Structure 1
Amino acid sequence: MPVWSCGGCGLPWPCPTRRRELRAEYADAPVSLALYLGSYLVQAAEDMPWTPAGVLHRRFPGWVRAADSSTPAVQQRSTATVPAEPSREAPDQAR
């Protein structure tokens, strides 16, 4: 694991096949998948201190959100309507 390559194909881990497997395994738990990969990010940073942090981030947890097109990258504003505030000039009808 010091260079973090896939034992099956030799590509950098997680390879495309392993990414598909992880995505299927954690289909109902994307936060758990991100945490799992984040822990590997820390280990990989220790094993490969010469690798830039951004490269490691993209390689480990960075692909999880980028590949998930069903979840918007930015939370959308609600389209629910908000009742208008009564005019300050209108008499208070509750009294």
Structure 2
Amino acid sequence: MDINKINNYNSLISKMDNQIVNNKTENSFGDLLSNALDKVNEMQLESQEYKKMLAIGEVDNLHDVTIAADKADTALQVVMAIRGKVVEAYKEIMRIQI
């Protein structure tokens, strides 16, 4: 498990928090969302790589494999929850009568 990847993820989250708190518009919401999705994709790929390495016997520490898989699963669940809320909000907006 590479601690730098966790630090990069944490710095992305704190950057998003700072932009929200400071009301800065340096990056658009789309850019932030795209970056977050890229990070989730990287976590999924890392988890798959760990699983492949485990299958061929290259991983000595099973904890790293489990942590990578759980981290990727949790990130995907968060993305799916956000997606559900966005779709729900869109449907609500479409129901508004003008």
Q: Give the TM-score normalised by the residue count of structure 1.
A: 0.43
Greater helix share, structure number: 2
Q: Give the TM-score normalised by the residue count of structure 2.
A: 0.42
